[in-house]
Amino acid sequence: MKPIFTLVSAVLLFTAPMAGCNSHTEKAQSLQAQIDSLRLLLNNLYKPGMGELMSNIQLHHSKLWFAGENKNWPLAEYNESLIQSAFKKIQLYHGDKPEAKAAFMFLPAMDSISNAIREKDKRSFERSFTLMTVTCNNCHSVTGHPYNVITIPAIPPVTDQDFKTP
């Protein structure tokens, strides 16, 4: 009887930690699956629509104009960076759409704007801004939105911001 008891005890003693390991592994896998599920949910919780991103670009396009016209180069640089950021979000959230695929058209215009701002050259800024505006309209035409015509702003987009250099 003693040898069987010893054998059963040894088997139990050896397999008990393994059962705990399996339970621990199963728990860890279950928790990881929950984490992955929540991460996927968060990643897909909010995606700005193309219209939201384009409206954002349009607002900063206008603010960029008034900042550059007033030689407020730090504000111009900031608005230019926000336009660049919106284009990156278009690639991230809507990369499969024709609008996102045509966004490469903006690279030369944005480079030109960046250079004009860096050089603090108002004339170059105005030419570059005109190029950017024409590029907006070309992109709209190419992607089937020719009715959406962008112009150089005539009045500030907001009345509660001073565009003059501080």
Taking residues 24-40, what's their average pLDDT?
A: 85
Helices (H), the chain: 2-43, 50-69, 73-94, 98-101, 106-119, 122-142
Q: What is the DSSP string of 125-163?
A: HHHHHHHHHHHHHHHHHHTT-TT------SS-S-SS---
Instruction: Please report which confidence band the pLDDT of residue 8 belongs to, taking 50, 70 and 90 as the band edges.
Output: very low
CA 80, CA 94: separation in Å to the nearest integer?
21
Tens-digit pLDDT profile for residues 118-136: 999 999 999 999 999 999 9
Alpha carbon distance 4, 122 (integer Å):
95
Contact 132, 61 (CB under 8 A): yes
- pLDDT above 70 (res 10): no
pTM: 0.75
User: Confidence class of residue 82 from pLDDT cuts 50, 70 and 90?
Assistant: very high
Query: 7 or 30: which carries more pLDDT confidence?
Result: 30
